[in-house]
Amino acid sequence: MKFFIDSGDLDEIKKAAAMGLLDGVTTNPSLLAKGGKPMKQALAEIAAVVDGPISGEVLAVDYEGIVREGREIAAIHKNLVVKVPLIPAGLRAVKTFAAEGIKTNVTLCFSGNQALLAAKAGATYVSPFIGRIDDTSHEGMQLIEQIVTIYSNYDFDTEVLVASVRSPTHVLQAALLGAHVCTIPFKVIEQLAYHPLTDLGLAKFLEDGKKIPKG
C-alpha cells in the first residue's frame, strides 16, 4: 500500500519525506488555506520536495472551469494530479483529462456507485472519505470493501485512495482490505511506528546492554 501524506504544510511534508516512506501528497482547499500561500506556489513547493503524485484540487464546479483549472494545475509540475469533485461536471472533466493524459483524483466519494462512475470516467484515483462517514455513525471502511470488490470485479485501473483517515486503525484496515493508497495526516503517520511494548522492550535491552562486559 502506498503512503501519501494528507497535508498542505510544507514542514510536515518535509519531515514525512525524510522518513523515506512517503509515496505522494494529497491537498485540499481547506488544508492549503491554512498555509496562506497562493495555490500554485504551494503546490510547486511541495513538488520540489516530494517525487511522487501530488493532488491539487480545482475550485470550479462547472465543466469548462474544472477543465481550465485542471490544465493549469497539471502544468505546474509533471507529478501534479488534478483533484476533481465527484459531481456530474467533474466526471465529464475526468474523461477529458484522461484523454489528454492528465492524472485525476476524484474526491468527496461517499458511495460505491459514485466510485463506479469515477472508474468508468477514467479516474487515476478515487478518494472515499472514511472518517467523515464514521462521523455519521456509519462504518466508513465498509465503503472501502465495496469499492475494492467492484474494481476487482471489473479489473478497473483506478486506484482506491483511502482519505479522511483519522487513526492508525484506519491505516491497518485499509491495508487489510487491499486499498492501493492511504493518505494520512502527519500525526497519524507518527503514531504508526509507536507501540508501548517496543519502548519498554528497548529500554530493557539498553539497560541490560550496559551490563555486557566490554570486550
* Residue ranges binding ligand E4P (CB under 6 A): 6, 26, 28, 107, 127, 129, 131-132, 163-164, 183
| Cell 503517520 -> residue | 189
Catalytic residue among 83, 95, 103, 204: 83
| Cell 472551469 -> residue | 65
Give me the least distance between CB of 214 and ligand E4P, in Å please: 51
The torsion region of residue 60 among left (phi > 0), alpha (psi -120 to 50) and beta comes to beta
33 vs 200 by CB, closer to ligand E4P: 33
99 vs 119 by CB, closer to ligand E4P: 119
127 vs 158 by CB, closer to ligand E4P: 127
Nearest alpha-carbon partner for 43 in 73, 13, 6: 73
Q: Any idea how long the chain is? A: 215
**CA 81/CA 176 separation, integer angstroms:** 26
Return the residue nearest ligand E4P (CB atom). 164
Give me the least distance between CB of 202 and ligand E4P, in Å please: 32
Give me the least distance between CB of 157 and ligand E4P, in Å please: 19
2 vs 132 by CB, closer to ligand E4P: 132
State the SS3 of 33-80. Answer: HHHCCCHHHHHHHHHHHCCCCEEEECCCCCHHHHHHHHHHHHCCCCCE
Nearest alpha-carbon partner for 27 in 82, 70, 71, 66: 82
Active site residue 95: no
Give me the least distance between CB of 204 and ligand E4P, in Å please: 38
Catalytic residue annotation? 83
